[in-house]
């Protein structure tokens, strides 16, 4: 018997959760999120343009092509041994491993010191590509921050991301919305792991945790600092090897913060643009879902359910992780196709259009929120409707209110 999931039912629940502000909300924004913004050659938003920042596969191709011929030959050799699907992060890990392990021996013509320098050149090219600024027009990141800013909350929103770009930072700062990213200070803000483990900042301060490092992070005198410069690329992507203590510190503290979030009762983590192929992050998610059955993860996936192999496998193992894909879902450990029911009320037709599409020309209907841009618009519209409802409730009843000056 085929399982059917009604998207209306789950979106009613999600809208209620997102508008109330009582549940502890976390967002996990993966590498697929920036691809939802398309720009033209002038840097303006254009649906027919190219991705603002490519996903991991696209970034891998970009980096390989940008390296000089000698470096590209070495990287292709490493990629061949790792497998044709190896991405830039796996390649960078292998480069760093060789830099630490082989000393004066040579592999692909390079010794350990040369591999260390190759790793720096790879990071520089990555930084060049992901340093693209956020467009000035309204965009998914600005809509996300608008939703965060517009709801009174009992807990701060926490954003976890493996992305190196500064798009979230730019969106918060343009909106004049405060956030904390683990750094403190003004001249050369320094990483403070103690502050990460506490929750004493005001609730309106969002938390932004860069799981794989970020543009602008650097090491100065045995201290991790945030330089504010886009060309600082030494600390993008941890290799999860021994590294030295100071470089290991930010990543271990940030991964621990994700563990703590998942361990907190009644928490909800919303994932967008995440492929579930990162074994280190998935290990933390796996541990958290097993240890705390009162934590839930909603994963909004861009492709059809059959193509989201890693996410589906994870959801079938964990009933408290739901996968919402384009043509179906895995909910409570059950995989099935989407099938909307009868409209709950007259207003729901307009609401349904924010997450569901019936294309013309005989194409199958689609669940839309696997697209990061559609998901953030969904959040923003929840906020807009909430503001309209509050405004209507505050208006006096025209039939019973007295006109100004009556009785004078």
Handedness of CA 1, 356, 374, 15 (dihedral sign): negative
Phi, psi at 165, each rounded to 5°: -65, 175
Report the alpha-carbon angle 183-18-307, nearest 5.
Answer: 85
The pLDDT of residue 153 is: 83
Strand ranges inside 99-156, DSSP E: none
Residues 355/326, Cβ–Cβ less than 8 Å: no
pTM comes to 0.90
The pLDDT of residue 203 is: 87
- Positions of the chain with pLDDT lower than 70, given as ranges: 1, 239-247, 384-408
CA dist 366 and 344 (Å) reads 19
Residues 50/59, Cβ–Cβ less than 8 Å: no
Residues 215/236, Cβ–Cβ less than 8 Å: yes
The pLDDT of residue 267 is: 94
Structure tokens of 208? Answer: 């932004």
Residues 138/7, Cβ–Cβ less than 8 Å: no
The pLDDT of residue 240 is: 54
Q: Where are the domain boundaries for CATH 3.40.50.1220 in the chain?
A: 4-50+135-391
The pLDDT of residue 406 is: 41
Alpha helix positions (H), 69-208: 69-82, 88-101, 112-130, 140-150, 167-174, 193-196
CA dist 39 and 51 (Å) reads 6
3-state secondary structure of 188: coil
Residue 300: enclosing H or E segment and its boundaries?
Answer: strand 296-300
Residues 340/6, Cβ–Cβ less than 8 Å: yes
Structure tokens of 210? Answer: 């860069």
The pLDDT of residue 337 is: 96
Please choose, from the candidates 318, 345, 344, the residue with its C-alpha nearest in 3D space to the C-alpha of residue 330: 318
CA dist 330 and 305 (Å) reads 8
Strand ranges inside 325-379, DSSP E: 328-331, 334-338, 356-357, 366-367
Please choose, from the candidates 373, 324, 378, the residue with its C-alpha nearest in 3D space to the C-alpha of residue 351: 378
Half-sphere exposure at residue 158, Cβ-oriented, CA atoms within 13 angstroms: 27
The pLDDT of residue 399 is: 47
The pLDDT of residue 359 is: 80
3-state secondary structure of 269: strand
Residues 170/203, Cβ–Cβ less than 8 Å: no
CA dist 331 and 4 (Å) reads 10
CA dist 288 and 267 (Å) reads 11
CA dist 272 and 377 (Å) reads 13
CA dist 19 and 1 (Å) reads 36
Please choose, from the candidates 233, 232, 217, the residue with its C-alpha nearest in 3D space to the C-alpha of residue 182: 217
3-state secondary structure of 174: helix
Determine the CATH number of domain 4-50+135-391: 3.40.50.1220
Please choose, from the candidates 245, 264, 261, the residue with its C-alpha nearest in 3D space to the C-alpha of residue 191: 245
């Amino acid at each position: 018997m085929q399982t059917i999931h009604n998207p209306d039912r789950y979106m009613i629940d999600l809208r209620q959760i997102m508008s109330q502000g009582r549940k502890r909300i976390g967002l996990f924004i993966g590498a697929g999120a920036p691809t939802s913004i398309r720009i033209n050659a002038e840097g303006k938003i254009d649906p027919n343009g190219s991705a603002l920042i490519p996903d991991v596969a696209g970034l891998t191709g970009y980096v390989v092509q940008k390296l000089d011929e000698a470096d590209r030959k070495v990287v292709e050799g490493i990629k061949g041994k790792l497998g044709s699907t190896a991405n830039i992060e796996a390649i960078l890990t292998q480069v760093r491993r060789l830099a630490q392990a082989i000393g004066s021996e040579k592999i692909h013509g390079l010794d350990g010191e040369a591999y260390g320098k190759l790793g720096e050149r790879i990071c520089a090219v990555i930084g060049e590509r992901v340093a693209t600024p956020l467009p000035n027009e309204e965009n998914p990141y600005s809509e996300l921050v608008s939703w965060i800013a517009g709801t009174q909350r009992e807990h701060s929103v926490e954003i976890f991301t493996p992305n190196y770009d500064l798009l979230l930072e730019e969106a918060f700062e343009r909106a004049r919305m405060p956030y904390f990213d683990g750094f403190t200070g003004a001249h050369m803000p320094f990483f403070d792991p103690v502050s990460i483990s506490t929750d004493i900042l005001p609730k309106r301060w969002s938390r932004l945790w860069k799981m794989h490092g970020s543009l602008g992070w650097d090491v100065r005198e045995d201290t991790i600092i945030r330089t504010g410069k886009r060309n600082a690329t030494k600390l993008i992507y941890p290799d999860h090897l021994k590294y030295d203590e100071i470089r290991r510190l930010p990543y271990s503290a940030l991964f621990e913060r994700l563990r703590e979030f998942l361990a907190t009762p009644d928490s909800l983590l919303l994932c967008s643009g995440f492929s579930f192929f990162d074994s280190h992050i998935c290990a933390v998610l796996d541990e958290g879902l097993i240890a705390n059955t009162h934590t839930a993860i909603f994963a909004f996936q861009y492709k059809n359910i059959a193509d989201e192999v890693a996410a589906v496998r994870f959801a079938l193992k964990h009933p408290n992780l739901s996968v919402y894909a384009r043509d179906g879902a895995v909910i409570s450990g059950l995989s099935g196709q989407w099938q909307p029911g009868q409209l709950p009320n007259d207003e729901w037709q307009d609401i349904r259009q924010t997450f569901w599409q019936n294309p013309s020309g005989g194409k199958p209907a689609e669940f839309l929120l696997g697209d990061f841009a559609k998901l953030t618009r969904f959040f923003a519209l929840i906020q807009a409707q909430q503001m309209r409802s509050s405004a209507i409730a505050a208006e006096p009843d025209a039939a019973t209110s007295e006109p100004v000056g009556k009785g004078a």
